A and B are shown apart, each in its own frame.
Chain A
Amino acid sequence: MNKVTKTIIRYEWASFIRNKFQLLLLVIIFLFAMYAIYYGTSVINTQLKTITEVQKIEADEFHQYQVSFDEELNSVDAKRKKDIASNPSYAWFRHGYHTVLPPHKYAALAIGQRDLHPYYHRLTGMSLYYQLFENEISNPVKLYVGNFDLSFVIIYLVPLLIIAFTFGLYSIEEESGVLALLRIQSISIRKIMLVRLMFYFMLITGSALLISLIGLLVSGNLFADENLLAALGWLAGVILYSAFWFSLMFLIISFLKNSAFNAICAAGCWLLFLLVIPAVLNVWMVAKFPIDTTHLAELTRRTGLENENDEKEQVEVLSEFLEYNPQYKASDSLFHNNKYAKVYAAFTTLKDNHSKKDVDAYNRQIEKRNQWVKQFLWINPAVNMQDTFALILKTDLNTFLSYQSALSKFHKNINTFYFDRLFWDKPITQDDYSKRPVFKIENSNERWNQVLYSFLEIIFISSLFGILGFMKMKKTTH
């Protein structure tokens, strides 16, 4: 770095320090970021607490079942407990398995959809879909307004800081008259502007990285396995997003208009990327891909057979059940045992098979919406980066969709565990409890490809703006 550049940087720093307004802005953003980290952490901690509670409830429940085998059967209560524990006719819809989508260690930084979609379920052998769509309690006003987490500070507030610091980089000099002295220098105006822009880039990006590091360290060990890559991804995202806004500001400045024009233009762009484009896309998407959930409402209805005693109906139900589950065909000779329980089990399971078409159509429509929206991401780095942050921290919509499909698989395992015993007239033994189904989500690292791709999209558009700005700003000005 040559002496001239050093001079520019030295005096830019002096000017910056003495500008009380800019210092205040930086401090305010810092305070907001601290609050955001605190808030995000408290939300995720609440979720963690709920998860612990819920897991304890399950542990207690199953412990109770296991213990009931060893107790003296000298009271109605004790007999009932053992019944529920060992008789598949009751067990299959009473035993509750908790599925949990645990938050990523850093989820506090970008809460994403964790407040909108349920992150735990209690599944029994009953119809899956009936249990799948239950919601968590939340205040609609709060959902509407969104989360004040660190990603909000980075995506919404840091650009404002960038705009505030750089919009007058050229125009203020011109309006105050200092520009004349700058124009007679043997170093081009463009170079001076670039150095100053670089200075603010370092300053603001550095601050944003510092804030992010604080957030990361507060939330978890930086070097633990799954955390390091996420941390690096987050930090890289912060740098790239900041670079985008700087290149945009450089383009705006390069038109060499007055301060007010620059400020209005920049504010307009901010509004465009963060409000207008997503808002328009959202309503357009709904009009283009309408979703009708009224058919899905039927899922919550727990129906039973018209008449439990009607032999014909029972046979119908059982035969249809066997079509979907041929593995139980050989047990049909045992159907006259424990008929009501088996028919009821078959009936509720069939409900899922019948609803599957509607649920699949619903999920497909959501997928279509997602895909359609993706194609607009490259022109909107703000939405792109917000999505990418959520993707890195596994709080995005796709994570929840994979959780839901893992749920379906798990539910099948539950059914198999109990139905194997129910339809073959076998009791549940105390040993079986150590073999009961366990919920697992696949940990794929596929998302990193998408993250990389998004980063490239943002680099592309930043470079585009930067190059245009560079060309527009003439070497010397007139």
Chain B
Amino acid sequence: MLKADGLTKKYGAFTALNALDLEIEAGDIFCLLGANGAGKSTTINLFLNFIEATSGSATINSMDVSKHALETKQILSYIPENLMLYPNLTGLENLDFFCGLGGKNYSKDELDILLQQSGLQADFIDKRVQNYSKGMRQKVGIALARAREAKVLLLDEPTSGLDPKASNEFSELLLEMKNKGVATLMATHDLFRAKDTGTHIGIMKEGVLVEKFESKDVSFQDLEKLYLKHMHN
């Protein structure tokens, strides 16, 4: 579903991403670990075609993301680290708007259900987003991801700033996506969540993917040791 082939991004002399080779299949949850500036967000931005690759290619469903920008966007969903919505519209209206943009029109009841399923409290659904906390906005984002029925899900530090309960709800979303056959790429600091929910783990350091393995092949302690080893080098 998701494929990176020698994907490289350079800013002048600085290399943000160095020849990334990656393949994520349907039903996989690939967790990218790494320090700040390691290249995780760059990778995601490249798949989203927010930036242009210096060399190499990123493809979604065998379509190159830069050549088929609009078609690839049709089948993906994205939740950024700090999801911002239109403050003057309610959660429901925001969801309706972004769904509508994607060509999917749900009735008010359906949107209601989507939001509640994503864990948003019922009495906040019709309140304006300017009153929402970060976690609540995140839930709207989750509802949106579900609503778009995307085949690919891209997540950038989705659990940062969330309390444990919200984090847990998030894991439930990931599992649901996995069961539906969605290919997920998640950049995160959360080692626990990566091992717990992810199917595959990758460690990035200074733009290079230094480790790549299936999460069932390591234990929690091993993962931690491996991670720290690369961080210290």
Contact = CB atoms under 8 A, between A and B. Distances in A.
Do A and B originate from a single complex? yes
Interface of A: 3-4, 6-8, 10-11, 14-15, 18-19, 176-178, 180-188, 192, 475-478
Contacts of B224: none
B59 interface: no
29 contacts: A3-B103, A4-B100, A4-B103, A7-B97, A7-B100, A8-B100, A8-B101, A10-B100, A11-B89, A14-B89, A15-B86, A18-B88, A177-B82, A177-B83, A178-B84, A180-B78, A180-B83, A181-B80, A181-B144, A183-B48, A183-B50, A184-B48, A184-B76, A184-B78, A185-B98, A187-B70, A476-B70, A478-B50, A478-B52
A185 B48 CA distance: 10
B112 to A, nearest CB: 18
A8 B52 CA distance: 28
Chain B interface size band reads 20 to 34
Interface string B57-72: 0000000000001110
B190 interface: no
B105 A3 contact: yes
Given A180-B80, A478-B51, A186 B85 contact: no
B138 interface: no
B18 interface: no
A14 B93 contact: yes
Contacts of A478: 49-52
A187 B49 contact: no
B161 interface: no
Given A7-B105, A476-B49, 7 more contacts: A15-B89, A176-B87, A180-B83, A183-B50, A185-B102, A192-B101, A478-B50
B69 A476 contact: yes
Contacts of B78: 180-181, 184
B77 interface: yes
10 closest pairs, A vs B, by CB? A7-B100, A177-B84, A186-B74, A18-B88, A11-B97, A186-B73, A184-B78, A185-B101, A180-B80, A186-B70
**Interface SS, A side:** helix
Given A186-B74, A478-B51, A181 B85 contact: yes
A88 B87 CA distance: 85
A15 B87 CA distance: 9
Contacts of A187: 70, 101
A250 B43 CA distance: 32
B100 A3 contact: yes
Nearest to A185: B101
A331 B210 CA distance: 119
Nearest to A16: B88
B89 A186 contact: no
Nearest to B45: A478
A478 B88 CA distance: 26
Interface in B160-213: none
Nearest to A184: B78
B97 A178 contact: no
A144 to B, nearest CB: 43
Contacts of B100: 3-4, 6-8, 10-11
A112 B83 CA distance: 54
Nearest to A187: B101
A175 to B, nearest CB: 10
A178 B86 contact: yes
Nearest to B82: A177
B195 to A, nearest CB: 28
A185 B96 CA distance: 13
A142 to B, nearest CB: 43
Contacts of B71: 186
A378 to B, nearest CB: 38
Contacts of A192: 101
Interface string B118-151: 0000000000100000000000000010000000
Contacts of A186: 70-71, 73-74, 102-103
B84 A176 contact: yes
B76 A19 contact: no
Contacts of B98: 181, 185
A180 B88 CA distance: 17
A188 B76 contact: no
A180 B79 CA distance: 9
Contacts of A10: 100
A15 B88 contact: yes
Contacts of A183: 48, 50
Given A181-B83, A185-B101, A19 B88 contact: yes
Contact of B69 (A19, A177, A475): A475
Pick from B51, B83, B98, B101 the residue with the most CB of A within 10 Å. Answer: B101
Contacts of B103: 3-4, 186
